[in-house]
Homo-oligomer: A and B are copies of this chain.
Amino acid sequence: METDVIVIGGGGGGYPAAFRLARSGYKVVIIDPKGELGGNCLFSGCIPSKTVREIAQMVWRNNRILKTSIRPDFSIVQDHKDKVQETRFIQHREELKEFKENVELIKGTAKLLDNKTVRVDVEGEGREIEIRGRYVIIATGSEPVKPKFPGSEFAITSDDLYGYKTNIRKLPDDITIVGGGYIALETATILKSLGYSVRVLVRSGRVLKGFENEIVETLLPLLDINIMYNSPLLEIRKKSENEFEVLYSDEKGNKKSISTGLVMLATGRKPVLPEGASGILALDSKGHISVDEAMRTNLPNVFATGDVNGKAPYFHAAVRMSVAASYNIMSNGVATDYVDYKSIPVTIFTIPPAAYVGIMPSEAKKLGLSVIEASYDMKNDPMAQMYDEMGGVLKLYFERGSLRLIGAWIVGVHAGFVINELGQAVAHGLTARQLAEFADQHPTTNELVAYTARKVL
C-alpha cells in the first residue's frame, strides 16, 4: 500500500496534520489502535477530566453562593462525561467522512520499519499490511507510569477514572491520591468539590515540581486539600471491596497506615513509542523522540508531534505541532513553520485553577534578563467577587526597556481563559503599552490584564 503520509496515532498530534494535508490533496493513512480519532486527551485525559471538573466547580459554586447542598450522584457526572466524549468521537467521525477522499483510518498497531515504511497489525483481521509513505508522522502520545509495588494492582490511574465508558461510576467517600503532579492535584480538587474526602500522598517535600515556586505558593493555600508531604507509598492492602489499607513511610521513616476507599496513582507519564522507533530514531534522555522546532526527527521524512516528543505535553501544543508538521511536509522537510514552545500556555485545572505562559522569573534570572514586574490581586477582580473566589494573583513580566511581555501567570478564577490573551501577547511580543491601550471587556477577569499593564505606565 502506497500513500503520501503515514500518521501513527489519531490524537491531537496526528489528525490536525492529516486533515491539513488532505485539504491540500495529500493522501494520508492514520493508524490508531482505538480505530477512532482522539487520543489520550479525548479518551481518558483532558476532555473527560475537564468535563468532570466543570461540573464539580459548578456544584461547588452553587453550594457556596446559594447555600445549597447539591451532591450529585457520581454516575450522573460520569454519564455526562461519556456523552461529551461520545459527541467528540462522532464529530471526528464526521470529519473523517468529510476528508474520506484523502484520509483513511486503520485500526491497528503500527511498527516502524524505516523512514518510509510502516507495518500494521490490523486489529480484528489477524493480518499485517505494509504501508509505504513519502513521510511519516509519529504521534503516539504518552501513558501513565504505573509503578509496581506490593498491592499496586489495587490502585487505579487517571485512565481508569476518566476513561470513556469506564466502570468507575461510583466513588467511596474517602479517596487517596498518590502523586504530586498536576493530575493528582486537579483530581483532588475536583473530587473534593463534588463532596468527597480526599488526601494526597506525596513522596517528596513539594508538589508541582517544574512549576514556578511562586505560582505553587500562591495556589496551594487556595486549594485547601490535605497534602501529606514526604510520605512515600510502600504498599496497598485490600481489606474489602471498598476498603484499602495504604502503607507509607512518614517523614521520620516510620511506617504508617491509612484506611481509604480508593487509591489513585498519578505518578507521572511516559512516552509511547511505536515498535521499531527506538532503534532508528534519536531519543532524548527521558525516552522522547528528539525533534527540532519544525518537528523533524533525525530521520529525513519522519516527524514526531505531541506528547511523544516531550516538548510540551499538552493537547493544544500537540495540535500546533501537528499543523507545523503538515506544512513542513508540504515543503519537503525544509522548515517553513516553527513551533515556539515557550509561548504555549500551561494551565493546571485545579479548583481554582492556575496558568502561566512564557518565561518565568526564575528562568529570566538564569538568562540574565532584567524584567519589570506588575501584579494584581484577584480580590479586586469583579468576577472573583461575583463568585466569591477572591484568592489569587495575576503577575506580568515585561522585558526592561522594550516593555515586551515575556511571561505571565495567574492563579484564580478563569485563569485558563485569561492565559490565552496573555499567551497571544507573549507569542507576538506585545508590550505593556499595547496591553494597556486595549480595553478588556468588563466585567471579565481579562480586565486585569489591562489594569496590571497600566501599572507600569
Q: Chain A: residues with CB nearer than 8 A to chain B?
A: 12, 20, 23-26, 41, 46-47, 50-51, 54-55, 58-59, 61-62, 65-68, 70, 72, 76-77, 80, 84, 87-88, 91, 293, 312, 314-317, 319-320, 323, 327, 330-347, 355, 366-369, 379-380, 382-383, 385-388, 400-404, 414, 416-421, 423-425, 427-430, 433-447, 449-450, 454, 456-457
On whether the beta carbons of A59 and B66 are closer than 8 Å, the reply is yes
CB of A380 within 8 A of CB of B427, answer no
- How close is A346's CB to chain B, nearest CB, in angstroms? 8
Closest to A50 in B: B443
Whether the pair A441, B423 counts as a contact (CB closer than 8 A) is yes
With contacts A314-B442, A343-B401, A420-B449 known, what are 20 further pairs, Cβ within 8 A? A51-B386, A54-B383, A58-B58, A58-B61, A59-B66, A65-B80, A66-B76, A315-B442, A316-B441, A320-B437, A320-B439, A323-B436, A330-B330, A335-B457, A343-B402, A343-B439, A345-B440, A345-B441, A417-B418, A417-B446
Question: Known contacts being A50-B382, A66-B72, is A439 close to B330, with CB within 8 Å?
Answer: no
How far is B330's CA from A332's CA once the two chains are assembled, in angstroms? 9
| Known contacts A387-B54, A437-B340; A46/B400 CB under 8 A | no
> Given the known A-B contacts A65-B58, A316-B440, A401-B293, are A385 and B342 also in contact in the complex, defined by CB atoms under 8 Å?
no
Within the assembled complex, what's the spacing in Å between the Cα atoms of A114 and B137? Answer: 36
| Interface pairs (29), CB distance under 8 Å | A20-B454, A46-B443, A47-B443, A54-B386, A62-B62, A65-B80, A68-B70, A68-B72, A80-B388, A84-B385, A84-B386, A293-B401, A316-B447, A317-B439, A319-B442, A319-B450, A336-B457, A342-B402, A343-B402, A343-B438, A346-B441, A367-B368, A416-B441, A417-B418, A420-B421, A420-B444, A421-B421, A423-B438, A429-B429
The complex places the Cα of A440 from the Cα of B424 at a distance, in Å, of: 8
Report the minimal beta-carbon distance from A418 to chain B, rounded to whole angstroms. Answer: 8
Chain B residues whose CB sits within 8 angstroms of the CB of A380 once the complex forms = 91
The residue on B at minimum CB distance from A420 is B446
Tell me, in angstroms, the Cα distance from A454 to B368 when the chains sit together.
31
Contacts of A320 in B (CB 8 A): 437-439, 450
Whether A420 contacts B401 in the complex (CB less than 8 A), given A62-B62, A66-B55, A382-B88, comes out as no
Do residues A327 and B336 form an inter-chain contact, with CB atoms below 8 A?
yes
CB distance from A44 to the nearest CB of B (A): 14
Q: Which residues on B sit within 8 Å (CB–CB) of A450? A: 316, 319-320
What residues on B are CB-neighbors of A355 within 8 Å?
441
Verify B61–A66 contact, CB threshold 8 A. Answer: no
Contact B441 A430 (CB under 8 A): no
Asked whether B338 lies within 8 Å of A401 as measured between CB atoms, the reply is yes
Among B59, B315, B369, the residue within 8 A (CB) of A367 is B369
| CB–CB B323/A441 < 8 A | no
Which among B47, B66, B419 is the interface contact of A382 at CB below 8 angstroms?
B47
Query: Which one, B54, B334, B427, contacts A437 given CB within 8 A?
Result: B427
Task: Give every chain B residue within 8 A of A344 (Cβ-Cβ).
Answer: 439
Partner of A438 from the list B23, B91, B427 (CB cut-off 8 Å) is B427
A24 / chain B contacts, CB cutoff of 8 Å = 331-334
- Determine how close the nearest CB of chain B comes to the CB of A199; give it in whole angstroms: 26
B residues less than 8 Å from A25 (CB atoms): 332, 334
Q: Which residue on chain B has the smallest CB distance to residue A41?
A: B442
Whether B403 and A338, one on each chain, are in contact in the complex, defined by CB atoms closer than 8 angstroms, is yes
CB distance from A364 to the nearest CB of B (A): 10
Q: How far is the CA of A400 from the CA of B314 in the complex (A)?
A: 20
List, in ascending order, chain B residues with CB within 8 A of A434's CB. 424, 427-428
Instruction: Report A169 CB to chain B, min CB distance, Å.
Output: 15
